[in-house]
Chains A and B, each alone.
Chain A
Amino acid sequence: MVINRNKKGTRLELKTVDTDSDDKLDDSLAEKLIRRAESSLAVQTVIQHGIVFCHSLFAVMLKHIQWGASIVLAVDNSDIEAIVRLPEGVDPAVWQCEHLRQLCLQLNQLVALLIPECLPSNEDCREMKAGEWQYLCAAHVSPQPCSAIDYIIHTLDGATALLNSSKFFPSRATIPMASHKHFSSIARRLYRIFAHSWFHHREIFDDFENETCLYKRFLFLSTIEFQLIPEKLITIPQVFDMGV
């Protein structure tokens, strides 16, 4: 299995995390990587492998995105499950932590798409609303009614800072027990970003979802694999075939 560094000069078609083409993303591959454990960031590598496998056209799609075009990618549910399912020998807390980090990473892209659109001059976006619910931003000393885009960015930045903080997540190989409770609060807050964009910026949400299937993966992670978000807080209607 050859994994390439993305060194300078690499062209776009080749700029992926390479593996042998006959390796499948199954438990054995993940275990192989983690058991080899040359670095403490092995789990992140595994997740990024999985994503690239399922979206192996991703790099090619990047080249073809003109501002506004969208590409529909039909991805099997089982592939998404394969990324999210906890492999053997991996600490569930570390798995959740790395998945949430990857989620924050990819949400940056959704936020980048929202920034020009989600302006406080819009009626819906003057405060953080998702459907009938309104949320107050917890990133401040006392909860403030930030505008939607402010709420989104503050939440994402706050989640990123928390996942990187030396107090709660000092190491990427073991997570102290006291920090487990943060996973659920992070997941709940990040869910609201999806909710706001689904209710008020539907086209952006659809484009993004078709490209990355991020929401589907997030739902798999937080409701089916690990119970991070209770059912009643899932405000987006069940239009996705979860195949459970």
Chain B
Amino acid sequence: MSTTGTPANSNPITLPSVLHFLNTEWRRFERDRNEWAIERESLLSRTAQLVGEKRALETANADLLQRLALLEYALKRERNIATGEPPVPSAPPPETISKKAPSIAHARSREILKTYLAEASHLVAKTQSRTHDLQHVDSGSGQLETWKSGFGAMEDDAQQQVKVVDAKYARTVQNHLSNGGELPAFGHGVRTNGNHSDSDTETADSGKYFERKKEEEIVQTTDLDLIDSVASVTAALKKQTIVDLTGPDYSIGSSEREGILLPDADPSPSKLWKVKSTLSSHLDAVRTIQFLPNSNQQSQSQKHSKSLLTASEDGTIKLWSLDPLFPSPTTSATGTTRRRPSTMSSSLLDLEPSYTFRGHIGPVTALAVCSDASGFYTGGVDASVRYWNLVDKNGNSLTKRDSYDSYESNPQKEIIVAHTDVVWEMALNSDVVSGTADATVHLATASADGTVKLFTTDSHSLVRSFVGDAEDAVSDYSGRSRNVPTSLAWMPKDSGRRLAVSYSGGEIFVYDVETGAVVAQMQGDDGGERSQINKIVAHPTLPLLISAHEDRSVRFHDLLSGSCIQSIVAHLEAVTSLSVHRSGTTLASGGHDCSIRWWDVGTRRCVQEYSTHRLKGTGEGIWDVAFSDWGDEEEECFASGGADGSVKMFGMI
């Protein structure tokens, strides 16, 4: 029950562990209580259903009995007429029954309406609460509040639903009256219902309305009122039923209500992403992936082929050449032949990496590729930042080599030791306009030691170090709640001067790297594990910042106003990664529920959803997604890296 990975023989009773235990126990109790409440509601609705059925059967029974009595009476009368006897004095009873029937019937009808109201509220609340539950599922006390609010909000809908029932029933009553028939005698089962403390007062009121004509009027007016609401309520009901039919995993909501969005309309099949192949050579979870940008070299051997870099928890970074996925006349003529012996893998579908970069001790967690693709930076659990060459000493691109060529030259160029804890994220500001005075390319690295450090790429010297809030610098007893930077994004304009940093407590700070000052600050939810931001990306053209959160949401922030425009519940588990297409129209997100979703940035609706990768352990799904920025429309590529160690490649065609 201790939250730290200490050896088994240390003292388990510590204050943090006790508090943690109390927390978990409390949450568990809340959860149990909510489950009990859910069960209770479902049982209540079931009993309401059954009672309603029973009552319906009883009224049908009574109806038939009365018909029987009438027929017997009629038969007797016929018989008397036939035998010439005077009319039987038992005629009055039916009439008195028919006279009393309206008054009693009206009272009864009001009671019936009340019971229908109760039944319908149970049934409606049950279906509504299911959808609300999905949207507001949270551990702890939040759930109970949302239950209460959900029921409160549902009163309106319940009333509407009941109005529908009222309207239907009122119509049947009216039909009976206009037909001149007697209202069925609901003598039997109605009294047994218990919830009619107000129905007694109602019967006292209704005692005034004994005349049938006045009843007709009342029924008519109420009917007219309700006809308008019927149309709208049935429309609402239709929407609700659609919600139910889609199953427990999804609920449709408009973007104003937080809801997981299903694809609206089927996009044309040619615009969908499809899996092209799987790259599996990593032995552990793939933590981060990035495509190589198009390089501008002249000679064919120096030019990189379309390639992908993947960094993994097994401590290696692999470079994959993706030419086999895009067969074209030019590449096949100059492509290298893969020499594979018969005992090793011989399947054409298995791509092997062109190069495996070894050197990190422990998992590699961060990756940043230079814009001219001459090298790349990596950061890992060993707190080191390493720079690697992508071009070997002869000037040939490493993407062109065969997997089993000589490894004699070590591509690892430099190790920067500056951080004292895990380096979780790094980013290069590659949109710098060259030729201006402040045109240095900077590397920003974020680490769990709480700092964001800035290096120049030519001399690898430390330029600046940003620390978070001063209060958070003091570590809490549990350690985990300390606010550490989790993700970085350079703002694409302003010649590479602005850097956005997101923290595990949910805040986003935008720094000006020249002065070191905070330019903008966006506050998140209250701290705690669920508010952690896992990734932020900057939109290439709009002043928009998009963040992915542990609480399953993706949020859009406006940089001009510094506020959150919108929050969408994007996945069923934590959202771990985001990638924006360079055109700015599509956003992709991946989460621990093993699904990838593509969103349209303008309307913020989900365009496509794809589930892939397998869960590792207790719920690690997808760690990173990336668009390729190559510029060729036919060869657009998308990749996702998962905790099962595989990388899936997607293409449009």
Contacts and interface: CB of A to CB of B under 8 A. Distances in A.
B316 interface: yes
A104 B479 CA distance: 33
Nearest to A59: B5
Contact of B480 (A5, A12, A14, A120): A14
Contacts of A167: 345-347, 350
B3 interface: yes
B422 interface: yes
B576 to A, nearest CB: 8
A150 B408 contact: yes
Nearest to A163: B283
B344 A158 contact: yes
Given A8-B424, A21-B2, A45-B616, A139 B404 contact: yes
B595 interface: no
Contact of A115 (B6, B359, B644, B645): B359
A122 interface: no
Interface in A18-68: 18, 20-22, 24, 38-42, 44-45, 52-53, 56-57, 59, 62-63, 65
Interface string B393-435: 0000000000110111010100000000110110000000000
Interface string B1-36: 111111110101000000000000000000000000
A141 B487 contact: no
A214 interface: no
A9 B403 CA distance: 34
B49 interface: no
B484 A11 contact: yes
B interface: dominant SS: loop
Contacts of B362: 62
Contacts of B576: 7
Contacts of B410: 115-116
B614 interface: yes
A115 B358 contact: yes
A9 B349 CA distance: 36
A136 B4 CA distance: 47
A104 B283 contact: yes
A150 B402 CA distance: 13
Contact of A13 (B4, B424, B484): B4
A147 B408 CA distance: 9
A162 B345 contact: yes
A interface: dominant SS: loop
A238 interface: no
Contacts of B358: 108, 111-112, 115
Contacts of A202: none
Among A24, A111, A120, chain B packs the most CB atoms within 10 A around the CB of A111
A138 interface: yes
Interface residues of B, number: 80
Among A3, A8, A167, A182, chain B packs the most CB atoms within 10 A around the CB of A8
A133 to B, nearest CB: 20
Contacts of B365: 8
Contacts of B645: 164
B144 interface: no
A102 interface: yes
B375 to A, nearest CB: 17
A232 interface: no
Interface in B305-346: 313-316, 339, 341, 343-346
Given A15-B422, A161-B281, A5 B592 contact: yes
A150 B407 contact: yes
A101 interface: yes
A13 B5 contact: yes
A150 B406 CA distance: 6
Interface of B: 1-8, 10, 12, 278, 280-284, 313-316, 339, 341, 343-347, 349-350, 352, 356, 358-363, 365, 381-383, 403-404, 406-408, 410, 412, 421-422, 424-425, 448-449, 479-480, 482, 484-487, 503-504, 532, 534-535, 550, 574, 576, 592, 614-620, 643-645
Given A7-B574, A11-B449, A161-B345, 9 more contacts: A10-B480, A40-B614, A59-B5, A102-B283, A105-B315, A109-B315, A153-B407, A158-B404, A165-B344
15 contacts: A5-B618, A8-B535, A10-B448, A11-B482, A12-B383, A17-B617, A38-B618, A40-B614, A42-B617, A52-B5, A111-B358, A112-B358, A154-B404, A161-B352, A167-B347
Q: Which 4 residue pairs of A and B lie closest in terms of their CB atoms, listed nearest first?
A: A165-B345, A16-B5, A9-B504, A39-B615
